[in-house]
Chain A
Amino acid sequence: MYIKSLKNLLLIASVAFCTPMLQAQDVTKTNQQNNQLTQSVLVSGTIKEAATGKPIRGARITYKELSAAITDSTGRFSIKVPTTTVSVLVESEGYQTKEVPLKGQAEVSASLYEDTYTSFYDVVTQPLNQPLKSHSPYAVTSVQTNGAWDRVGETPSTYLQGKVAGLNVIRRSGTPNSGGTLSLRGISSLYASNQPLIIVDGMIFDNTDYGGSIIANHYTDPLSTIDVRDIDNISVLKDGSSIYGTKGANGVIIITTARARELGTRIDFSAFTGINLAPERIPVLDAAGYRIYLSDVLKSQGLSSTEIAALPFMNDDRTNSDYFSYHNNTDWQKLAMKQSLTRNVYLKVTGGDNIAKYGLSLGYLNADGITSETGLNRYNMRFNGDLNLSKRMTANTNLSFTFNEQNLRDQGTAVKTNPVYLSLVKSPLLRAHEVSDIGAESPLLSDVDIFNIGNPIVLTNTALGVNKNYRFLGSIGFNYQLSDAFAIASTVGVTNDKVRENFFIPRKGITSDTLATDIAYSRLGSHVKSLFSLFNDTRVGYSKRFNVHEVSAHLGMRYLYSRSERDFGLGYNSAIDELVSVGNGVNALRRIGGSFGETKWLNNYFNADYSYSDKYFVSFNVALDGSSRFGNNIPDALTISGNKYAVLPSVAAAWLVSSENFMKGSFVELLKLRASYGLSGNDDIGNYSARQTYLSQNLLGVEGLIRSGFGNDQLQWEKMTKANVGADVSILKERLSFTVDAYRNKVDNMVAYEKAPVASGFSYAISNSAALSTKGVEASLNGRILNKTNLKWDVGFTISKYKSEIDKLPNGSLINSFAGATYITEVGATPNLFYGYKTSGVYSTDAEAAQAGLSIRKADGTLLPFTGGDVRFADVNGDKIIDANDRQVIGNPNPDYFGSATTKIGYKNFSVDALFTFSKGNDVYNWTRNQLEDMSGYENQTEAVLSRWRTNGQVTAIPKATWGDPVGNSRFSDRWIEDGSYMRLRTLSLSYNIPFSTGLLKYITVYASGNNLATWTSYKGFDPEFNATESLFGRGVDVSLEPQFRSVLMGVRIGL
Chain B
Amino acid sequence: MRFNFKYLLLVLVAASLCSCKKWEDHIALSNPDLSQNLLQAIGSDANLSSFKQLVNKAGLDSVLQSSKSFTVWAPTNSALQSVDPAIVNDPVKLKKFVLNHIATQSYFTRDAGAGQRVAMLNGKYNLFTSTTFEDATITAADKYVSNGVLHVINKSIAVLPNIWDFITSTAGQYVQNGFISSLNYTAFDPNTAIVDSISKLTGQPVYRPGTGLMYKNEFNQRVYDLSREDKQYTYFVIKDAAFNAESDSLEKYYQMPSTVSTDSLGKWYVTRDLVVEGIYTPSSFGNLQSKYGIPIPVNAADIVETKKFSNGVVYILNNLHFPAASKFPTIRIEGETPSGFLSDKRSNTNYRVRVNPVTGQIFNDLLVLGHGVSGYYSYYNIYNMSSMKYKVYVAGINDFQTSTFSENIVATYPGAPTPIASLTYAVPLSTTAGAYDEKYLGDISVPTFGNVQIQLKASGTNPIVLDYVRLVPVP
Interface residues in chain B, defined as those with a beta carbon under 8 Å from any beta carbon in chain A = 1, 4-5, 7-8, 11-12, 14-16, 18-20, 22-23, 26-31, 34, 66-69, 103-106, 108-110, 118-119, 142, 144, 146-149, 230
Contact = CB atoms under 8 A, between A and B. Distances in A.
Greatest chain B CB density within 10 A among A280, A292, A868 is at A292
B23 A946 contact: no
Contacts of A282: 23
Given A992-B4, A1013-B12, 19 more contacts: A283-B23, A287-B67, A288-B147, A295-B68, A295-B104, A304-B119, A305-B119, A306-B230, A316-B66, A846-B110, A943-B27, A944-B27, A950-B106, A950-B144, A954-B144, A990-B4, A1006-B1, A1013-B11, A1016-B18
A292 B68 contact: yes
Nearest to B1: A1006
Greatest chain B CB density within 10 A among A305, A314, A946, A1014 is at A305
A708 interface: no
Interface stretch (A136-144, A788-796, A1017-1025): A1017-1025
Interface stretch (A186-194, A461-469, A572-580, A955-963): A955-963
5 contacts: A291-B67, A952-B109, A1008-B7, A1010-B11, A1014-B18
Contacts of B142: 950-953
Nearest to B118: A305
A930 to B, nearest CB: 14
Size class of the contact patch on chain A: 35 or more
A1018 B22 contact: yes
Given A868-B110, A944-B26, A306 B119 contact: yes
A846 B382 CA distance: 57
A289 B109 contact: no
Nearest to B5: A1008
A1048 interface: yes
A292 B69 contact: yes
Contact of B110 (A289, A309, A951, A1016): A951
A943 B142 CA distance: 22
A307 B164 CA distance: 24
Given A288-B67, A985-B15, A957 B30 contact: yes
A946 B146 contact: yes
B140 to A, nearest CB: 12
Interface in A267-323: 280, 282-283, 287-289, 291-292, 295-296, 299, 304-306, 308-309, 314, 316
Contacts of B11: 985, 988, 1010, 1013-1014
A1008 B105 contact: no
Contacts of A952: 108-110, 142
Nearest to A1010: B8
A947 B4 contact: no
A307 to B, nearest CB: 10
A946 B29 contact: yes
Given A954-B144, A1006-B1, A1013 B15 contact: yes
Contacts of A988: 11
Contacts of A1018: 22
Nearest to A991: B4
Contacts of B34: 946-947
A1048 B9 CA distance: 10
Interface of A: 280, 282-283, 287-289, 291-292, 295-296, 299, 304-306, 308-309, 314, 316, 846, 868, 942-944, 946-947, 950-958, 985, 988, 990, 992, 1006, 1008, 1010, 1013-1020, 1046, 1048, 1050
Contacts of B4: 990, 992, 1008, 1050
B14 A1014 contact: yes
A978 B66 CA distance: 35
Nearest to B19: A1015
B149 A947 contact: no
Contact of B15 (A295, A306, A946, A1014): A1014
- 10 smallest CB-CB distances across A and B, nearest first, come from A288-B67, A1014-B15, A947-B30, A956-B30, A951-B108, A295-B69, A943-B27, A1008-B4, A305-B105, A950-B144
Contacts of B31: 947, 954, 956
Contacts of B106: 295-296, 299, 950
B288 to A, nearest CB: 28
A950 B8 contact: no
A943 B14 CA distance: 25
B105 A299 contact: yes
A747 B22 CA distance: 40
Contacts of A283: 23, 27
Contacts of B16: 280
Contact of A295 (B1, B105, B110, B146): B105
Nearest to A287: B67
A954 B7 contact: no
A894 B118 CA distance: 54
A957 B27 CA distance: 11
A407 B473 CA distance: 85
A292 B146 contact: yes
A958 B148 CA distance: 17
A1048 B30 CA distance: 39
Contact of B103 (A291, A305, A1019): A305
A430 to B, nearest CB: 15
Contacts of B23: 282-283, 942-943, 1020
Contacts of A287: 67
A316 B121 CA distance: 14
A287 B312 CA distance: 39
A532 to B, nearest CB: 45
Contacts of B22: 1017-1020
A1020 B14 contact: no
A1046 B15 contact: yes
B30 A955 contact: yes
Nearest to B9: A1048
A990 B29 contact: no
Contacts of A868: 110
Contacts of A846: 110
Contacts of A305: 103-105, 118-119
Contacts of A1046: 12, 15
Contact of A1020 (B26, B29, B118): B26
A762 to B, nearest CB: 47
A956 B28 CA distance: 11
Contacts of A1017: 19, 22
A942 B12 CA distance: 26
B286 to A, nearest CB: 32
Contacts of B15: 985, 1013-1015, 1046
Contacts of A956: 30-31
